[in-house]
Amino acid sequence: MEVLNFGTTKDGMKTHLYVIKSEDLECRVTDYGSTLVNLFVPDKRGEKVDVVLGFDDVSGYENDTESLGCNVGRCANRIGGASFDLDGVTYPLDKNDGENCLHSGFTRYSNRIWTVEEHTDTAITFSMHSPDMDQGFPGDLTMSVTYQIEGNVLRIVYSGTPDKDTVINMTNHSYFNLNGCGDILDHMVMIEANRFTPSDAQSIPTGEYADVAGTPMDFREPKAIGDEIDADFVQLIQGKGYDHNYAIDGYDGTTRYGVHLYSEASGILMDLATDYPGIQMYTANYLECANGKNGAAYHPRDAVCFEPQFFPDAIHKPEFPSPVCKAGTPFHKEIVYTFSIDR
């Protein structure tokens, strides 16, 4: 079990980088935010490619505003108006995205030291106690995040049981580039979704389901990200690219494939499965970072995020699958990444 020094936080807390691996994959995660820092995958030449953007030490993540590799909670994505009603009580939240709450506000799970509960050569489990009214959400909750590697598969599992009805919508916010660097406009994407949820100018869903057919949102067949990203289409103009939730076909609460990502240059194919009802595709439209890994500068469209989730603002949209986890009910969601080579 390999453990590396990952630096000291501004307030003097030591952090670590934990390595798990198989013959096919190597994953490095830090106790600072339970964040995914490195994911090494073999390309068609047999060379290892780090397919996620990030930083070389904890200081980069302390200053990060883009959520690189983070596990986002208690509620990922946006809640319109930065408040919600539950069981007859109104809960105000941080307004950190205009008048809305994004990724649960200012005191994020990703900026906390998580406890390592278990670490083997192929798996690690972190936990973090989130007390009642943490970030404005009701319910005492101990959330755990497990990373597990088996062969060419990386699985991330979220679990916890609140003691009050609350909103839980944990996801991973890794920025993928299957070539390791450069833009991702030539990456091929296929999304198993006939519908997406249109959003307004503040990226809050309208509550509608829209067919992807006949629009630049259609990825039912493999298509390069760059083919239509600059199309004269209001949904893309508003977000400066893709930043939209797709409703995965046939959702029934079981784990099913939702996204397929491929780079011809590296030959790497990534298949993503989840038991969430939706996946947000974000083409890093606002990414600007001058101090990434090995001094790399990151720019818009240098990566693509796929964030499995309950739909944005679902707490206000009864027509969407509900993000409410009832008191005493175990919360359990997973994201499964399978990597292979297509030569």
Report whether 45 belongs to an annotated binding site. no
Question: 56 Cβ partners below 8 Å, 6+ apart?
Answer: 293, 294
Distance CA 203, CA 96 (A): 13
Give every strand in the sheet of 26-30, ordered side by side: 2-8, 14-21, 26-30, 35-42, 48-50
- Picking from 221, 244, 220, 255, the residue whose alpha carbon sits closest to that of residue 304 is 244
Task: From 281, 266, 275, 282, select the one nearest 339 (Cα to Cα).
Answer: 266
**Considering Cα of 309, then 185, then 190, then 20, what sign does the dihedral take?**
negative
Judge whether 173 is annotated as a binding position: yes
Q: Is 28 among the annotated ligand-binding positions?
A: no
Question: How far is Cα 107 from Cα 129, in angstroms, rounded to an integer?
Answer: 13
Burial-class residue 216 by CB neighbours within 10 Å (0-12, 13-18, 19+): middle
Residue 38 labeled ligand binder = no
Q: Is 11 annotated as a binding residue?
A: no
How far apart CA 240 and CA 260 sit, in angstroms, is 22
Q: Residue 87: CB partners within 8 Å, gap ≥ 6?
A: 165
256 marked as binding residue: no
Q: Catalytic residue, from 103, 119, 173, 244: name it.
A: 173
Among the residues of 146-241, which ranges form H helices?
A: 234-239
Using CA atoms, how far apart are residues 122 and 11, in angstroms rounded to an integer? 31
Contact by Cβ (8 Å): 150, 23: no
- Dihedral angle sign, alpha carbons of residues 145, 149, 150, 155: positive
Active-site choice (26, 192, 244, 307):
307
Is 62 within 8 Å of 111 (Cβ atoms)? yes
Q: Does the annotation count 173 as an active-site position?
A: yes
Closest CA to 51 of 177, 225, 189: 177
Beta bridge mates, 269: 262, 340
Residue 332 a catalytic site member: no
Active site residues: 173, 307
Binding site for beta-D-galactose, by residue number, is 77-78, 173-175, 243
